[in-house]
Amino acid sequence: MDVPPDLTLTPTSFGKGCFGSVVLAFLANTPVATKIIPRSPSEDAHVECERRALAATACIDRVVVHLSAYSVTPTHHFLSFEIVGDGGTLMDLILGTHSYVRSRCSSVLCAGNCYRLRPEEARGLFLQLCTAVERCHALGVVHRDIKPENVLIRVLEPNPLPGAMLHDCLQLVLTDFGFAQVVKPRQLLLTHPGTITYAAPELIKGVPYEGEPADVWALGVTLWVMMTRHFPFGRTNDQRILLAAPDYSIVPRSFDVVMLRSIFQCDASKRPTVTQIRSYLAP
């Protein structure tokens, strides 16, 4: 594999995705997370779309991952990103396996080895994610793969005061723009990427769709997982997604499900915008 001369790769892996692997690397002695994608005509076009989305969101501070450098060789693309936290994700936080939570069990409801984010903390963290997506949409960028595994954790308060809420101590950072696309207002998209458990009905049907409402649906699924640690429509049940009828009884009673009901609508035009969601949930 040809490697750019200013980039030093290490054996440390951050994971592998649909298009390539992500490893710890050093760019002029600065640690970075480098996505390595083998070249092909289709991958070249994909990387170009990702770079356009990342260039459009470069002005968004702190809540969206930033591309530090891009290099291409005859065999591979190398996209190097800032390193956020210790590599832990929102899913780690939900499951209670993130190092920050494990050292501070008082910040979650705990029953044996079963952790639960408090509803008020889930709401606060979700609002941070909404802010990131809202700013992307304002710049004409749709993410198309929103899920807890694609949200990194930046620690703001390593030694919080007793009783401090997670959303006051942590910052969520939206990452993995591999399926992202820069779109025009009301533009219909024809490809159907992403993860099925977070996919809106229009993606399951395989019809042309607008990216913003599809992102909103994925945000709703993410919030549901944050609150319950379960998927609202199961893992692979297309029919349940098409019916848009989750079991709202498992959502904590202290959480108002009105917004979730407005998100989980088969008619994409009736879903709220991210701005409306944030306004409704904000304290």
> What is the SS3 assignment for the chain?
CCCCCCEEEEEEEEEECCCCEEEEEEECCEEEEEEEEECCHHHHHHHHHHHHHHHHCCCCCCCECCEEEEEECCCEEEEEECCCCCCCEHHHHHHCCCHHHHCCHHHEEEECCEEEECHHHHHHHHHHHHHHHHHHHHCCEECCCCCHHHEEEEECCCCCCCCCCHHHHEEEEECCCCCCEECCCCCEECCCCCCHHHCCHHHHHCCCEEHHHHHHHHHHHHHHHHHHCCCECECCCHHHHHHCCCCHHHCCCCCCCHHHHHHCCCCHHHCCCHHHHHHHHCC
Based on the residue annotation, tell me whether 6 is a catalytic residue of this protein: no
Catalytic residue among 2, 86, 92, 145: 145
Catalytic residue IDs: 145
